[in-house]
């Protein structure tokens, strides 16, 4: 048995809470005050610009490194308590990239979380995973991510959720859409995702998220190899080290915007 989620009209969205991990926290998109901005903050601006200030309110509960069960335990109760008109729910990615995880089982837990949210808030927008064919560290997981995406779409159908389909967003296949760590979006990548989210919600957006990037000069083999060595030393080795030690990049990190506040 499924719960029904009301897909609110755009004019009825006056409050928004973002739930998730580093993607939704905005890692890779630093702001002038040292905190991250990210696609969810940028979507909040698109939504808020429709209304007189300070009518629109926004919370971002996302914390980097969080697994699905941690998001369910730490963030969803707060989102239910806030009861906003819109929640964006992006979760499961950190579970899927872990060796031995079953995307079918992760999707079952994801669906229970969506059902919980859908009973308390206006609209729940869910997100698919990215197509990782161009990400060296993750391209071998492409089939696993595609399986999980299929489940996410099925859950969205059952609960009446709009879907932010990141797999089909071709502009983020360009390396300029990604931060130097190759795991998180760059500021422009986050901007493209925010624009696509705005399109899904039928917000008038100022640019096409799939607008082609300017051409890049060709890179030689030596330059590519030098970049790969730098990436491995600066990002891959520390990432593996944290995994081996059982640490998370989100240890001791709190949600940057835990309350529904005016923009």
Are 131 and 167 contained in the same domain?
yes
Distance CA 72, CA 77 (A): 7
Note the pTM of the prediction, 2 decimals: 0.92
Question: Are 43 and 102 contained in the same domain?
Answer: yes
Torsion, Cα 8 12 17 22, to 10 degrees, reads: 60
What total number of domains does the chain contain? 2
Omega of the bond leading into 54 within 30 degrees of 0 (cis) = yes
Answer yes or no: is 256 within a domain: no
Range of the domain at 113: 10-214
Q: Tell whether 182 and 237 lie within a shared domain.
A: no
Domain identity same for 159 and 226? no
- The stretch 88-98 carries a mean pLDDT of 95
Same domain flag for 244 and 202: no
Give bridge partners of residue 126 from the DSSP assignment. 89, 163
Coarse DSSP helix, strand, coil percentages of the chain, rounded to the nearest 5 percent? 45, 10, 45
| 65-69: average pLDDT | 96
Q: What is the per-residue pLDDT for 127?
A: 98
pLDDT higher than threshold 60 for residue 5: no
Same domain, 34 and 136: yes
Is the Cβ–Cβ distance between 250 and 64 less than 8 Å? Answer: yes
- DSSP letter at 104 equals H
């Amino acid at each position: 048995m499924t719960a029904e989620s009301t897909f609110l009209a755009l004019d009825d969205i006056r409050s928004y809470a973002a739930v998730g991990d580093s993607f939704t926290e905005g890692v890779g998109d630093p702001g002038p005050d040292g905190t991250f901005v990210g696609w969810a903050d940028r979507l909040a601006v698109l939504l808020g610009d429709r209304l007189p200030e300070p009518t629109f309110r926004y919370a971002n509960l996302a914390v980097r490194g969080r697994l699905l069960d941690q998001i369910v335990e730490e963030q969803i109760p707060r989102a239910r308590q806030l009861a906003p008109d819109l929640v964006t729910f992006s979760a499961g990615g950190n579970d899927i990239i872990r060796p031995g995880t079953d995307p079918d089982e992760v999707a079952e837990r994801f669906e229970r979380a969506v059902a919980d949210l859908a009973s308390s808030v206006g609209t729940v927008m869910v997100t698919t995973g990215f197509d990782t064919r161009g990400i060296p560290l993750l391209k071998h997981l492409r089939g696993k991510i595609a399986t999980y995406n299929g489940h996410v779409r099925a859950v969205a159908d059952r609960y009446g959720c709009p879907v932010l389909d990141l797999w089909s967003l071709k502009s983020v296949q360009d390396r300029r859409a990604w931060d130097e760590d190759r795991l998180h979006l760059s500021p422009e990548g986050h901007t493209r995702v925010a624009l696509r989210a705005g399109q899904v919600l039928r917000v008038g957006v100022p640019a096409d998220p799939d607008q082609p990037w300017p051409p890049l000069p060709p890179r030689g083999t030596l330059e590519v190899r030098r970049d790969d060595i730098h990436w491995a030393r600066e990002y891959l080795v520390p990432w593996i080290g944290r995994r081996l030690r059982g640490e998370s990049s989100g240890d001791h990190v709190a949600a940057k915007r835990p309350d529904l506040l005016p923009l």
